[in-house]
Amino acid sequence: MPIAPARTQVGIIGAGPAGLFLAHLLHRQGIECVILESRSHEDVENTIRAGVLEQWTVDLMLSLGLGERMLREGHFHRGITLRFAGESHHLDFEDLTGGRRVTVYPQHEVLKDLIAARLASGGEIHFGVRDVKLHDLNSKRPHITYTDENGQQQELHCDFIAGYDGSQGPSRQYVEGRTEYQHLYPFGWLGILVEAPPSHHELIYARHERGFALLSTRSPEIQRLYLQCGPTDNVADYSDELIWSELHQRLETVDGWTLTEGRIFQKGVIGMRSFVCDRMQHGRLFIGGDAAHIVPPTGAKGLNLAVADAVYLSRGLECFYRTGQQTLLDQYTNTCLRRIWKAERFSWYMTNLLHTNSTESPFEQRIRLADLDYLVHSQAAATALAENYVGLPLD
């Protein structure tokens, strides 16, 4: 038997970066919201995800009072190192962008901070929900029906719904008249976690004839590394010995730099794709995050794009509740898409620049190397890359 319907101003579907940041932004403005999440609390916090935060995302966390642990445990880099033809080239983002830098702080750690603060403030997050359905989206009183973790049928009535429920969530299917754009890349990443000290003080992006490699970090004791592989490769086919052999070859330098090995305790293969939904609202429903767009991880944009969606929607909702005007809400899709397509372009550029492709001709391979050589020797080109990497300003 259904329980009496609940009521809030904004119903948020999804406790990922977009949904949680939106909840905190609305809370700061005095707007009530409830978050519904299909995964358990433990699953959300224990899904290991890398994370590079743009400067404005870091600044936002600090302004919301959510950045204490990030400042204590995050890694702050002046820039990145590009490696090709056996040589390393440092791009100093702080110099190129007037002081902005790279913050390496994993996404799951960001989520832990946001969830803890949300619950400590008395905010509602309902984990383990299923059978989520949306109703009356073209009315002023939309509502959500779902089954809670105890098997009870529930209704949540609200003024607006934020469908920030990931690429497999139900929300996008309710956006009528949408066009979806997708690009599948002919390669994937084999990611590993390793018990070892850092081999380098910042991220290394390497292009090698055997394929791309990336060296990143999690903590002083745990490092994360990636190898370009086939998108459907089986992890079982990659022994530890094979992984270390490939990493050494792809990251090697002519000056004798060495990679520190350690115990590999996690392996996984991810495919790579770009995806954009060209309509992000329908009636009182607004979608964002992975529900609306996906980028390959090469450009480090995924989490930051999701948070930008939340910022834009919070501005529209704050204006609506303060003035009754829907202008910013009406502009939500176009505002978001301007940023999304720029991030898609940058991620596509970085991915194609650094990865090898069996369909590339020798001519195209030399063009990629010429592009890299130009990039590291041109201040204008390096500045353009740095500005995109540390984060373009919000509109």
DSSP 8-state class, residue 57: H
Look up 312 and say whether it is catalytic.
no
Residue with tokens 């909840």: 23
Which amino acid belongs to residue 322? R
For 26, counting Cβ atoms within 10 Å of its Cβ (0-12 exposed, 13-18 middle, 19+ buried), the class is: buried
A 10 A CB-CB count for 394 gives 14
Look up 321 and say whether it is catalytic.
no
Look up 146 and say whether it is catalytic.
no
Residues 6+ apart with CB under 8 A from 391: 54, 55, 56, 57, 100, 304
Query: Cα 364 from chain centroid?
Result: 30
Residues 6+ apart with CB under 8 A from 37: 13, 14, 15, 19, 44, 125, 126, 127, 128, 129
The catalytic position among 106, 142, 296, 297 is 297
Q: Which two tokens stand for residue 288?
A: 């964002």
Alpha-carbon distance 194 to 263, whole Å? 5
Alpha-carbon distance 206 to 203, whole Å? 10
Sort strands 79-84 and 204-206 into parallel, antiparallel or unpaired.
parallel
Look up 393 and say whether it is catalytic.
no
The catalytic position among 200, 301, 312, 355 is 301
Query: Which residues are catalytically annotated?
Result: 77, 205, 297, 301, 389
